Amino acid sequence: MTILRRKALLAPIAAALATPALLRGAFAQSAGQPAAPALSQAPGYYRFRLGDYIVTTVHDGFSRRPVEGLVRNAPTAEVQAVLAEAFMPTTTYDGVYTVPFVDTGRLLIAFDTGTGGQMGPTSGLLARNMQAAGIDPARVGLVVITHCHRDHIHGLTTAEGQAVFPNAEVAVGEIEWAWWSDPGNESRSPEGQRVNFANVARRFAPYQARLRRYRDGEEVAPGIRAIAAYGHTPGHMIFHVADGAEELMLLADTTHRPEVFARRPGLHSLFEFDAAMAEVTRRRVLDRVAVDRVRVAGYHFPFPATGHIARDGEGYRFFPVEWS
């Protein structure tokens, strides 16, 4: 190739690189200008069959907090080592939110309701992702509340207090409701959880005529049975879902992110009401689903938030489902 021909071929590239707009884009961050906005992602929903039921996990985003202070009973350096083992950041911790829906063919059920877009800019994706998944809030006939933490019940209402699920009955555990609906318990609750009392009154208000309580061992719908999993909150519940030979355990907040709190079930997170009881529950439930090889879904598991739990030494490992 001659020198003149090489110059002719390279000239357009050199001209493009010299364009001020391109140079500004390439060096904006180093020059102190605002970085490009975050890339948008594909709609976050995942659907699978469980017997004749259809389960859809719908992503609601995440919240980010410092790692320091996340765990009550271990030094930060120890927690950071667990995070590093899982290839996770070691200075910040992302709490992921995923709401499971179960369609039995007769009834569409939501298990918890997400953040309602009222807990920060990185969460509140549920409405958009429900629409992408073809899930109409007006078609949801039952909302089952596993516990009354804000990230699970904010989505019951809009910021203005209107019901998001206009035709749904709302079921909440009897013990959970008794605790958070009684203002006399406020002074007996951990300081960081006292905000739940006013929030429960506000979020359940539009549903008072359609509110019912359930107990441990009770079916909230055919094939869907409540199981006590106390500790994370006074009346925290999980659910066994079965149709034919297929079964699924909805773990709610039995363990927060499994890379940390299933891997090291003895770690006590700041989110727990009674951490010692939560640990006993966590070990019991994780051992059950591991031994019985029951598929699980976890509210704070990495999306699509479903897979299997297996014993690994003194702890457990989460094996996410293979997408298909």
Mean pLDDT of the 245-264 span? 98
- Please report, rounded to a whole number, the percentage of residues in the chain having pLDDT higher than 90: 86
Instruction: Tell me if 324 sits within 8 A of 307, measured CB to CB.
Output: no
Query: How many Cβ atoms sit within 10 Å of the Cβ of residue 162?
Result: 10
pLDDT of 278 over the 80 cut? yes
144: closest CA among 216, 45, 205, 221? 221
Contact at 8 Å (CB) between 272 and 230? Answer: no
Ordered alpha helix ranges (H), the chain = 3-18, 20-27, 76-85, 126-133, 150-153, 174-180, 195-204, 258-261, 275-291
Question: Is residue 8 scored above 50 in pLDDT?
Answer: no
For the chain, the average pLDDT equals 90
Question: Can you tell me the distance from the alpha carbon of 271 to that of 72, in angstroms, rounded to the nearest whole number?
Answer: 10
> Across residues 242-259, what is the average pLDDT?
98
What architecture is the 43-320 domain classified under in CATH? 4-Layer Sandwich (3.60)
CA distance linking residue 53 with residue 58, whole number of Å: 16
Q: What is the pLDDT of residues 132-144, one digit of tens each?
A: 999 999 999 999 9
pLDDT in tens, 16-57: 333 333 333 332 333 455 555 656 667 799 999 999 999 999
Q: What is the pLDDT of residue 36?
A: 58
pLDDT for 42 equals: 72
**Residues in a beta bridge with 170:** 143, 211
Q: pLDDT category, 322, cuts 50, 70, 90? A: confident
Instruction: Enumerate the β-bridge partners of residue 59.
Output: 98
pLDDT tens digits, residue range 172-219?
999 999 999 999 999 999 999 999 999 999 999 999 999 999 999 999
Amino acid in position 146? T
pLDDT-derived band at 96 (thresholds 50, 70, 90) equals: very high
Helical packing angle, 20-27 and 3-18, nearest 10°:
60
